[in-house]
């Protein structure tokens, strides 16, 4: 049994990770002692029912209490509001780092700019992992000469997030490899946890869907809608189709730039087709999803996240349009419809026409999506996570040994000439190893 | 033999461990050996510097000087007892306690309050576990320390007792009407418990405390409520001569600390041929006091201690006999520097 | 102030460095400071071990002690002066000379070791940190300061200090012997004096005192005594008490002290305090800062014939010897050698 210090956004925080936590924590709390650490002002009552919630001040974490636990699990993502405090604790005490986004350039940039520490932290990180080239690009970026999207893809800074970690959990191992950001510590590749609704409930949703009149077919876009959700191209695609009258587009969720979208809808003459619903309650979301026929879950560029909304759409047996990039590109070919980033509008239109031509094929696609949720069972997820944490703890002394060796090695470069190094380095390594890990006994 | 006594020290701090190291070095010389004392500086905070200092000790070389072998080193404290030597004996006064039983102590626990604390704790434990057994022999200060060493590090070690300072100057004089409660500087000594006991005594026992009532900070206000001013006396800071005198003339020594590691008080009482009233949770005194033979072991409650005090107050002959038995026991225990030197060098 | 003196102690060796550290400690305490000596053990062989102990020094932490900030760390010897501290002052007794002026010296072992070069490079590299301590590097003599400049480019100021119990030295009427107090070893060159004695005109007598620790050298000296028939003219007193030593200084005609490149040389100062002339050599190092040739003693070439001349000169002109002795005492006064000066400089 582990005593887990869990650091993540918690409801009512508007973060997909808070929802994910609600999937995983009940399982974890069954078999382990869990303390939920938060720097939020509010935490929903339903969270309190799962495990003890403890507050911390990121400027002065209560180490006495934290050190009662055996391992800390830190959840990182791009939003500094949700993750800055967690990162601060994570930097001081090694633990398991769960990377919900893999491209974290935005996070590290905003962290240093927003939290008043100046840009030095960000520049150091860029130089640490990408050398002088990284630093130069960082400077150009700060001067406005490069886009954030470019920086995020070219300099993801994933390894920065893993710097102190005992182990890293990712939901998109292939992406991590493609980004070339595999950290030095052990890595666990897990399928993002999602507890599928029980069959009876699912059938209710299907019944609701079939019960409502169609056409028009209801397209749904759901979640925290930034620019990378591709609303623009979607609206353009619809506007360019004669068949657009057969569809209704429900845009549900907090919009990055509501007035801009409204303006675009009007300009494109889609006012009768597209509607904005803003942030919805859970009940309202359920209503919308159970009435929808096709979910549009485009992301470009992706930050390497695994999408909870995708799994949610599958929960409702919804077919989805996804962008063929990063994690989404790894989804089963028969459980989603793929849109190429460089042919967005054309591909969207092609899929929409295909849908009209054969709605049942898309329905099957949705059913297959729901089936693949088996791989995302929170029980398996929690079990894999804790086994990984246990193993990482076992290897933890090596991390400390390496850290000390690195520090001493650095100091030695000030006075130890290369010729004399092999002897002393070997001598010191042996002793450090003995002190931290094991020795020459037996 | 050429012997080095190696200990860890904090500059400007001279406590019992430092005095012991000096006495050991003197005893080695008195036994005809060439002996020197090295105190390697050790700073325990910030905790993330501890591993470096362990490493520093491991890098020292005490095997020879000027071409002549150093026959043995005796390691006393962490991390100095980790200095490598093919012929090392560890006389473990104590390990780095906040990595062990004092980890979560409300005031003493320091590692637990640091983010890197658990890592340092593991390193200290691993280093002890791995490197103490390099020694040819391991002894400890007392059974308490041996028990902890076995429990935490899986290492078996015998206690090796040593005499208090100026052991030869203790003696018996009279057996006057008072109990003596000496005061080593340690808040776990429980004078308060003894005072509560006095309030419950049937007899009009008197007790004289070394030190000042003001040091009983948490309970100071309650002291007056007990209305014991005619039975309790606070003697202030005492010179060594004054202390020995109080030992020499008391009826018995009352000393019920909480889990003490090594009680010079118990030994001083025995050297003064006085019985000791102590408690079943006192730790070190229990290694020396034989219940109802050289003293009384009470429960750690005011009533139980009061009963013990009443017993000795009324039966003076018994008290005297126990005192003599205590003195004899001291002899039987071979608590002298010659014995220490013999064990450490054999 | 809270002050720590960082030095090195070789187990079972008690010599000049210990005396100096202890003297400094007492003087600082008298000046009202809290002072302790931190002595780390040092075994300078085999050469690679030196690297271990350099690193060990750098891993120690003396920035605070017993809840007090340590205001100053005074480093005296290698490698203890490598212990890090933000307010460090060096009063260099000597560096690890085998990496510098004794490199390739017949008596040195560093250059003869397979790893000698690497270790030497490391020592020199580490010593470069002294450059950062400008204004805070002192040396016990000009000799040591000069070596620091020559080999490390470090600007060090000489800072003399008195020998132990300086006020207890005295003069008595000169008797028929020269006095040579010193550890009996090749660097002190008792053999050179024996060879010189074989060549003197007069029947010069020399008393040697001091511990012997090099059997081979002792045998050489005995052989020289036998060969030149000097048995009646030399006396080997071994270790003598401080009083006995002062008595010998007092009654001697003069002091003979011809070491090789000595760092400092308490003996020279003790002779001056006892108002006695000193015979030393041109390559003796420290003593040359104090002995003025043919004014307070004689600075001879390091050859038996030259030393024989010198000893004869003292032996045959007693009034001149006495006068040089007095001049030596005056010179000591002129040099302002006092602990006050030391404290002032180290704590500035």
- Supply the DSSP string of C140-179, one letter for each residue: SSHHHHHHHHHHH----EE---PPTTGGG-------S-EE
Instruction: Say if B118 is an interface residue toward chain A (CB within 8 Å).
Output: yes
Name residues whose C-beta falls within 8 Å of residue B88's C-beta, 6 or more positions apart in sequence. B72, B73, B74, B75, B81, B134, B135, B136
Q: Model-level pTM?
A: 0.88
- What gap in Å lies between CA B205 and CA B179, rounded to an integer? 8
Q: Name the residue of chain A whose CA is nearest to C59's CA.
A: A408
Say if residue B285's pLDDT is above 70: yes
B38 to C4: CB separation less than 8 angstroms, yes or no: no
C-beta atoms of B58 and A408 within 8 A? no
Confidence tier at B345 by pLDDT (50, 70, 90): very high
Domain residue ranges in chain A: 3-189, 199-376
Assign domain A199-376 to a CATH class: alpha beta
Least confident of A99-113, A284-298, A427-441, B285-299: A427-441
* Segment C154-168 mean pLDDT: 94
Cβ proximity of B133 and B155 under 8 Å: yes
Strand partners, A17: none
Cβ separation of B55 and A428 shorter than 8 Å?
Answer: yes
Paired tokens of B58 = 């491991």
pLDDT band at B129 (very low <50, low <70, confident <90, very high): very high
Handedness of CA A227, A232, A235, A237 (dihedral sign): negative
Give me Rg for the CA atoms of chain A: 24
Residue among B112, B116, B126 whose CB faces A93 most closely: B116
CA distance to A10, C104, C260, per residue, from C120 (Å): 60, 11, 22
Q: What angle separates helix B50-58 from helix B117-131, to the nearest 10 degrees?
A: 20
Residue recorded with tokens 């030259």: C306
Domain spanning A3-189, CATH class: alpha beta
A41-45, B146-150, C103-107: least confident range: C103-107
Rounded alpha-carbon distances, angstroms, from residue B93 to A333, A381, B72, C64: 69, 48, 18, 24
Instruction: Say if strands B68-69 and B64-65 run parallel, antiparallel, or are unpaired.
Output: antiparallel
Q: Which residues of C216-229 are buried (b: 16+ CB within 10 A; e: fewer)?
A: ebeeebeebbeebe
Of the residues C56, C69, C70, C217, the best mutation for testing chain B's interface (the one with the most B CB atoms within 10 Å of its CB) is C56
Name residues 21-60 of chain B within 8 A of A (Cβ): 51-52, 54-55, 58-59
Candidates C121, C126, C128; nearest CB to A419:
C121
Q: Which of chain B's residues have a Cβ under 8 Å away from the Cβ of C21?
A: none
Dihedrals phi, psi of C38, to nearest 5 degrees:
-110, 115
Distance separating alpha carbons of residues C234 and C226, to the nearest angstrom: 11
Query: Which pLDDT tens digit goes with each residue over C236-293?
Result: 999 999 999 999 999 999 999 999 999 998 999 999 999 999 999 999 999 999 999 9
Confidence of residue B218 (pLDDT cuts 50, 70, 90): low
Q: Does B66 touch chain C (CB under 8 A)?
A: yes
Q: Which three-class secondary structure state does DSSP give residue C295?
A: coil
Average pLDDT over residues B50-72: 95
Contact C11 B2 (CB under 8 A): yes
Whole-number Å distance between alpha carbons of C281 and C291: 10
The verdict on A423 touching B (C-beta cutoff 8 Å) is no
Q: Note whether C274 and C332 are within 8 A (CB).
A: no
Q: Which of the four pLDDT bands, split at 50, 70 and 90, describes residue C16?
A: confident
Looking at residue B67, its pLDDT comes to 87
Backbone angles phi, psi at B265, to 5 degrees: -55, -45
CA dihedral for A79, A83, A84, A90, sign (positive or negative): negative
Kindly state the average pLDDT of the residues A53-63: 97
CB-based burial label for A59 (10 Å; 0-12, 13-18, 19+): exposed
Q: State residue B219's pLDDT score.
A: 65
Identify all chain A residues contacting C118, using CB atoms and an 8 Å cutoff: 417, 419-420, 423
B2-160 and B167-332: identical CATH topology:
yes
Residue holding tokens 């303390």? A35
Report the pLDDT value the prediction gives residue A440, as an integer from 0 to 100. 56
Mean pLDDT of A384-398: 95
Least confident among A236-240, A413-417, B59-63, B282-286: A413-417
Give tens-digit pLDDT for B115-125.
Answer: 999 999 999 99
Q: Enter the tokens of residue C112.
A: 């003869």
Is residue B133 over pLDDT 90?
A: yes
Under an 8 A CB cutoff, do A408 and B55 touch? yes
pLDDT over 90 for what percent of chain A? 88
Interface contacts A/C by beta carbons within 8 Å: 39
- Say whether pLDDT at A441 is over 70: no
pLDDT at A442 over 60: no
CA gap A315, A49 in Å, rounded? 25
pLDDT number for residue B211 = 87
How does residue C159 score in pLDDT terms, banded at 50, 70 and 90?
very high
3-state secondary structure chain B: CEEEEEEEECCCCCCHHHHHHHHHHHHHHHCCCEEEEEEEECCCCCHHHHHHHHHHHHCCCCCEECCEECCEEEEEECCHHHCCCCCEEEEEEECCHHHCCCCCCCCCCCHHHCCCHHHHHHHHHHHHHHHHHHCCEEEECCHHHHHHHHHHHCCCCEECCCCCCCHHHCCCCCCCCCEEECCCCCHHHCHHHHHHHHHHCCCCCCEEECECHHHCHHHHHHHHHCCCCCCEEECECCCHHHHHHHHHHCCEEECCCCCECCCHHHHHHHHCCCCEEEECCCECHHHHCCECCCEEEECCCHHHHHHHHHHHHHCHHHHHHHHHHHHHHHHHCCCCHHHHHHHHHC
How much is the pLDDT for A118? Answer: 78
Predicted local confidence at residue A115, as pLDDT: 63
Domains of chain C: 2-159 (3.40.50), 166-334 (3.40.50.2000)
- Identify from B48, B81, B103, B119 which residue to disrupt to test chain A contact, counting A C-beta atoms within 10 A and taking the largest count: B119
The CATH class, in words, for B2-160 is: alpha beta
The count of C-alpha atoms lying within 13 angstroms of the C-alpha of B189, restricted to the half-sphere facing its C-beta, is: 21
What is the ipTM, given to two decimal places? 0.90
The neighbours of chain A, by the rule of 3 or more Cβ pairs under 8 Å, are B, C
Which tokens is C108 given? 């040195």
Whether the predicted pLDDT of B221 surpasses 70? no
Q: Is C69 helix (H, G, I), strand (E, B) or coil?
A: strand
Cα→Cα distances C211→A217, A437, C215, C241, Å: 107, 48, 11, 12
Architecture per CATH, B167-332: 3-Layer(aba) Sandwich (3.40)
**Residue A259 in this model has a pLDDT that exceeds 70:** yes
Q: Are A100 and A77 in contact (CB under 8 A)?
A: yes
Output the pLDDT for position B187.
Answer: 56
Q: Tens digit of pLDDT for each residue in A120-141? A: 889 999 999 999 999 999 999 9
* Band of residue A117 on the pLDDT scale cut at 50, 70, 90: low
Nearest CA distance, B55 vs chain A (angstrom): 7
Average pLDDT over residues A412-441: 87
Q: What is the pLDDT of residues B156-202, one digit of tens each?
A: 999 999 999 999 999 999 999 999 999 876 657 788 899 899 999 99
Q: 3-state SS of chain A?
A: CCEEEEECCCCCCCCHHHHHHHHHHHHHHHHCEEEEEECCCCCCHHHHCCCEEEECCCCCCCHHHHCCCCEEEEEECCCHHHHHHHHHHHHHCCCEEEECCCCCHHHHHHHHHHCCCCCHHHHHHHHHHHHHHHHHHHHHHHCCCCCHHHHHHHCCCHHHHCCCCCEEEECCHHHHHHCCCCCCCCEEECCCCCCCCCHHHHHHHHHHHHHCCCCCEEEEEECCECHHHCHHHHHHHHHCCHHHHHEEEEEECCECCHHHHHHHHHHCCCCCCEEEEECCCHHHHHHHHHHCCEEEECCCCCCCCCCHHHHHHHHCCCCEEEECCHHHHCCCCCCCEEECHHHHHHHHHHHHHHHHHCHHHHHHHHHHHHHHHHHHCHHHHHHHHHHHHHHHHHHHHHHHHHHHHHHHHHHHCCCCCHHHHHHHHHHHHHHHHHHHCCCCCC
- Rounded to whole angstroms, how far apart are CA atoms A355 and A365? 11
Average pLDDT of span A363-391:
97
Q: How confident is the model at residue C182 (pLDDT cuts 50, 70, 90)?
A: very high
Q: How open is the CA angle C210-C211-C214, to the nearest 5 degrees?
A: 125
């Amino acid at each position: 049994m582990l005593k887990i210090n869990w650091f993540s956004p918690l409801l009512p925080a508007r973060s997909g990770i808070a929802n994910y936590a609600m999937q995983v924590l009940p399982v974890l709390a069954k078999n382990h002692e869990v303390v939920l650490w938060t720097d939020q002002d509010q935490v929903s009552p339903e969270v309190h029912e799962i495990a003890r919630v403890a507050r911390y001040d990121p400027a002065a974490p209560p180490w006495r209490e934290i050190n009662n636990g055996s391992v800390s699990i830190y959840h990182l993502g791009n939003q500094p509001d949700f993750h800055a405090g967690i990162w601060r604790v994570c930097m001081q005490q090694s633990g398991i780092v769960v990377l919900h986004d893999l491209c974290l350039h935005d996070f590290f940039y905003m962290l240093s700019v927003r939290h008043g520490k100046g840009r030095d932290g960000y520049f150091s990180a860029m130089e640490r992992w990408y050398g002088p080239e990284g630093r130069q690009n960082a400077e150009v970026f700060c001067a406005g000469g490069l886009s954030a999207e470019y920086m995020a893809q070219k300099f993801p800074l994933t390894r920065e997030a893993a710097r102190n970690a005992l182990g890293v959990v990712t939901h998109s191992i292939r992406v991590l490899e493609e980004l070339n950001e595999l950290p030095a510590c052990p890595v666990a590749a897990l399928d993002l946890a999602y507890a599928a609704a029980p069959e009876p409930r699912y059938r209710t949703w299907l019944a609701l869907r079939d019960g409502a009149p169609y056409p028009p077919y209801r397209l749904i876009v759901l979640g925290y809608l930034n620019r990378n959700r591709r609303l623009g191209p979607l609206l353009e695609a619809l506007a360019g189709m004669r068949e657009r009258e057969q569809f209704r587009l429900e845009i549900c969720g907090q919009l990055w730039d509501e007035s801009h979208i409204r303006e675009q809808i009007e300009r494109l003459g889609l006012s009768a087709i597209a509607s904005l619903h803003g942030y919805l309650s859970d009940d309202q979301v359920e209503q919308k999803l159970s009435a929808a026929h096709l979910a549009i879950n485009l992301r470009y560029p992706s930050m390497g996240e695994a999408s909870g909304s995708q799994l949610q759409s599958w929960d409702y047996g919804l077919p989805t349009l996804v962008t063929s990039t990063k994690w989404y590109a790894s989804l089963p070919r028969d459980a989603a419809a793929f849109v190429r980033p460089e042919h967005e509008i054309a591909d969207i239109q092609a899929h929409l026409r295909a849908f009209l031509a054969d709605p049942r094929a898309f329905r099957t696609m949705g059913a297959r999506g729901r089936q693949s949720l088996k791989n995302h069972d929170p029980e398996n997820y929690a079990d894999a996570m804790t086994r990984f944490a246990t193993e990482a703890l076992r290897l933890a002394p090596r991390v400390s040994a390496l850290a000390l060796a690195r520090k001493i090695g650095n100091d030695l470069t000030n006075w130890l000439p290369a010729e004399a190094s092999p002897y002393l380095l070997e001598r010191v390594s042996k002793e450090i190893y003995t002190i931290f890990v094991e020795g020459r006994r037996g | 033999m050429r012997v080095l006594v190696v200990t860890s020290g904090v500059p400007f701090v001279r406590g019992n461990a430092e005095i012991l190291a000096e006495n050991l070095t003197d005893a080695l010389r008195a036994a005809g050996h060439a002996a020197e004392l090295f105190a390697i500086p050790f700073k325990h905070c910030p905790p993330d510097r501890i591993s470096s200092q362990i490493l520093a000790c491991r890098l020292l070389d005490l095997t020879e000087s000027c071409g002549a072998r150093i026959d043995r080193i005796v390691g006393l404290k962490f991390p100095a007892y980790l200095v490598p030597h093919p012929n090392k004996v560890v006389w473990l006064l104590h390990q780095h306690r906040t990595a062990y039983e004092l980890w979560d102590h409300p005031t003493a626990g320091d590692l637990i309050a640091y983010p890197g604390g658990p890592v340092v704790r593991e390193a200290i434990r691993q280093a002890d576990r791995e490197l103490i057994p390099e020694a040819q022999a391991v002894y400890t200060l007392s059974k308490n320390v041996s028990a902890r060493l076995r429990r935490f590090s899986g290492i078996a070690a015998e206690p090796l007792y040593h005499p208090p300072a100026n052991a030869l100057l203790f003696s018996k004089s009279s057996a006057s009407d008072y109990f003596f409660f000496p005061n080593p500087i340690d808040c776990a000594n429980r004078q308060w418990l003894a005072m509560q006991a006095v309030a419950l005594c049937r007899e009009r026992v008197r007790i004289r405390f070394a030190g000042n009532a003001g040091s009983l900070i948490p309970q100071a206000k309650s002291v007056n409520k007990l209305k014991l001013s005619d039975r309790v006396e606070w003697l202030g800071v005492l010179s060594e001569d004054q202390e020995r005198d109080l030992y020499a003339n008391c009826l018995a020594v009352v000393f019920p600390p909480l889990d003490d590691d090594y009680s010079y008080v118990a030994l001083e009482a025995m050297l003064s041929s006085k019985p000791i009233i102590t408690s079943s949770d006192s730790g070190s005194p229990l290694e020396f006091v034989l219940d109802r033979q050289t003293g009384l072991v009470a429960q750690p409650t005011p009533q139980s201690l009061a009963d013990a005090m009443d017993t000795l107050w009324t039966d003076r002959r018994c008290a005297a006999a126990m005192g003599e038995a205590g003195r004899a026991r001291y002899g039987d225990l071979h608590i002298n520097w010659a014995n220490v030197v013999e064990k450490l060098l054999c | 102030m809270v002050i720590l003196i960082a030095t090195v102690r070789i187990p079972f060796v008690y010599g000049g460095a210990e005396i100096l550290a202890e003297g400094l400690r007492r003087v600082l305490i008298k000046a009202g400071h809290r002072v302790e000596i931190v002595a780390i053990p040092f075994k300078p062989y085999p050469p690679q071990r030196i690297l271990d102990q350099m690193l060990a020094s750098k891993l120690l932490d003396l920035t605070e002690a017993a809840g007090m900030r340590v205001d100053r760390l005074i480093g005296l010897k290698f490698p203890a002066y490598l212990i890090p501290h933000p307010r460090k002052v060096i009063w260099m007794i000597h560096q690890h000379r085998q990496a510098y002026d004794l490199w390739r010296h017949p008596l040195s072992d560093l250059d003869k070791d397979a790893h000698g070069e690497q270790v030497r490079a490391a020592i020199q590299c580490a010593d470069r940190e002294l450059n950062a301590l400008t204004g805070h590097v002192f040396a016990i003599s000009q000799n040591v300061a000069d070596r620091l400049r020559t080999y490390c480019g470090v600007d060090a100021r000489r800072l003399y200090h008195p020998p132990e119990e300086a006020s207890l030295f005295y003069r008595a009427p000169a008797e028929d012997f020269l006095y040579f107090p010193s550890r009996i070893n090749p660097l002190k060159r008792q053999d050179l004096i024996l060879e010189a004695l074989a060549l003197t005109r007069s029947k010069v007598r020399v008393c040697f005192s001091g511990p012997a620790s090099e059997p081979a050298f002792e045998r050489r000296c005995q052989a020289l005594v036998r060969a030149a028939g000097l048995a009646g003219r030399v006396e080997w007193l071994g270790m003598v008490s401080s009083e006995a030593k002062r008595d010998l200084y007092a009654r001697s005609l003069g002091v003979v002290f011809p070491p090789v490149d000595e760092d400092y040389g308490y003996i020279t100062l003790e002779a001056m305090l006892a108002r006695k002339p000193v015979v030393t050599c041109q390559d003796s190092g420290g003593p040359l800062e104090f002995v003025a040739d043919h004014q307070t003693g004689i600075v001879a070439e390091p050859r038996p014939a030259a030393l024989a001349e010198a000893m004869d000169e003292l032996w045959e002109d007693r009034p001149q010897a006495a006068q040089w002795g007095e001049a030596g005492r005056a010179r000591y006064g002129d040099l302002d050698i006092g602990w006050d000066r030391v404290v002032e400089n180290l704590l500035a």
